[in-house]
Structure 1
Amino acid sequence: MVRMVIDIEGVVLDEGLIVTLTELKQLCGSSDQMLEYLVDEGVLCPQGRRPDEWRFSGREVRRARRALRLQRDLELNPAGTALALELIEEIETLRARLRVLERRLRL
């Protein structure tokens, strides 16, 4: 009998969470350079002008983690990651709207 053990790691992120670039790097297990690429490509939109002033919301932390996972799993460059993330989020928005419409039609 083969026994599999699956390790699941989760982080609960509060919408009100605000983190620095250093904290984001730790939360994502990424480098400053990779996170700066994501900012340059418009994937992440921090508050502040310079990297040492940047602050990221909980939404941005989730977005960064998802983007880095896409890069790693699909071997995408930052521009490809930005496009993939935009398309995934658009699909999620359309599915949410469809669910609302379906609920209204059942009434």
Structure 2
Amino acid sequence: MDERGVFTLSELCVLCNASGEAVCALVDEGVLQPRGANPRRWKFDAQDARRALTALRLARDLGINTPGAGLAVELLDELDRLHQRVRVLERLLAPER
């Protein structure tokens, strides 16, 4: 695997302990956004790897189907963005000590 956090399809499959079909299903659902024209040229970044691990864990542990896992990952990402915004606002509104 590339130390810069860029993964090929086969590397992502190994990282996630998943089949190529499972990862391709995540791409088809829009959960992952690889760069490259076809699966042989796909490159996934660290965010894709995190999203794949989360979606596959949800499918395995909770029996959620691929579209449901994709929706859950989107909602978790939105929750993270909202938490970041709250932290920024709290810092801006906190009285100086």
For normalisation by structure 2, the TM-score amounts to: 0.90
Partner of residue 8, structure 2: 20
Partner of residue 50, structure 2: 62
Partner Cα distance (1:61, 1:94) in 2: 21
Q: Which has the higher strand share?
A: 1
Partner of residue 6, structure 1: none
Q: 1:34 aligns with which of 15, 19, 22?
A: 22
Aligned with 2:44: secondary structure? Answer: strand
Gaps of 5+ in 2: none
Aligned with 2:7: secondary structure? Answer: strand
For normalisation by structure 1, the TM-score amounts to: 0.82
Name the stretch that deviates more: 32-41 or 50-59.
50-59
Partner of residue 68, structure 2: 80
What is the root-mean-square deviation of aligned Cα atoms in Å? 1.5
Aligned with 1:96: secondary structure? Answer: helix
Corresponding letter in the other structure for 2:53:
R
* 1:94 shift after superposition: 0.6
Q: Which has the higher helix share?
A: 2
Query: Residues 56-97 of structure 1, C-alpha deviation per residue, up to 9 Å, x if partnerless?
Result: 112211111111111112211110011101111111111110
Partner Cα distance (1:102, 1:21) in 2: 40
Partner of residue 5, structure 1: none
Corresponding letter in the other structure for 1:35:
V
Partner Cα distance (1:95, 1:38) in 2: 25
Whether 1:53 aligns to 2:27 is no
* 1:34 shift after superposition: 0.4
Whether 1:99 aligns to 2:87 is yes
Percentage of identical aligned residues: 47
Gaps of 5+ in 1: 1-12
